[in-house]
Amino acid sequence: MTTIIVVNIVSAVISEIATASRQIWSFARDDGFPFSDFLKKVSPGWNIPLNAVVVNFVFGVAISLINLGSSVALGAIVSLTLASLLSSYMLSIGCMFLKRIRGEPLPPAALPLGRWGLAINGVALAFLTAFFIFCFFPTTRLVDASTMNWNSAMFGGITMFATTWYLVGGHKKYRPPVDIQNRKL
């Protein structure tokens, strides 16, 4: 029984590393990351973004090792993934909601929401906003360093770092995928 669980976990980890490294590579290809020149290199002969794979693997191992030192720190990182996921959903749904309010044309979709789209997007935003706010709350009433939800400090710090990086120099280098797709060959 243990073998089945281990095989499933190993398979999931391999899939995560492959997926995340390709996402890192595609964002680096558009010069959207610090150190993009290093991350966007594709290894000749292997045809994989080996630098992105190695960076992803090293960060994954480092995050896993945090649990050896502090389960509170690992809990904060896991909580940060929830806030990041919710914020990405809110951003994409919010853009669609704004387009619907402004009456702008929407991109083609496989499953369009039709006339219910504005209402569905509004309900989704309300639901996500409530969960986003509550994911920053501590889990207990009496808060100390070990029960504090450090998610707000980490999310705020990462958001400030990313915003500062973009404003200082990232906006000069970053090329959105639409610009790359529409370029003349």
pLDDT reported for residue 64: 81
Distances (CA, A) of 172 to 31, 33, 163, 166: 9, 12, 13, 8
The answer to whether residues 125 and 90 touch, using CB atoms and an 8 Å cutoff, is yes
Q: What's the confidence (pLDDT) of residue 151?
A: 86
- Can you tell me the distance from the alpha carbon of 97 to that of 86, in angstroms, rounded to the nearest whole number? 16
Residue type, 163: T
> In this predicted structure, what is the pLDDT of residue 174?
81
The distance of Cα 179 from the centroid of its chain, to the nearest Å, equals 22
- Collapsing DSSP to helix, strand or coil, 175 comes out as coil
What's the rounded Cα separation, in Å, for the pair 151 and 76? 6
Asked if residues 28 and 180 have their Cβ atoms less than 8 Å apart, the reply is no
Question: For the chain, which ranges sit under pLDDT 50?
Answer: 185
Angstrom distances, CA of residue 13 to CA of 26, 53, 142: 20, 12, 36
Q: pLDDT of 119-138, one tens digit each?
A: 999 999 999 999 999 988 88
Look at residue 184 in the predicted model and tell me its pLDDT. 55
* pLDDT given for residue 170 in this prediction: 81
**pLDDT value for 185:** 44
For the CA atoms of 32, 122, 83, 15, the dihedral, rounded to the nearest 10 degrees, stands at -60
- Using CA atoms, how far apart are residues 24 and 16, in angstroms rounded to an integer? 12
- How far, in Å, CA of 87 to CA of 174, rounded? 21
Structure tokens at 86: 């919710």
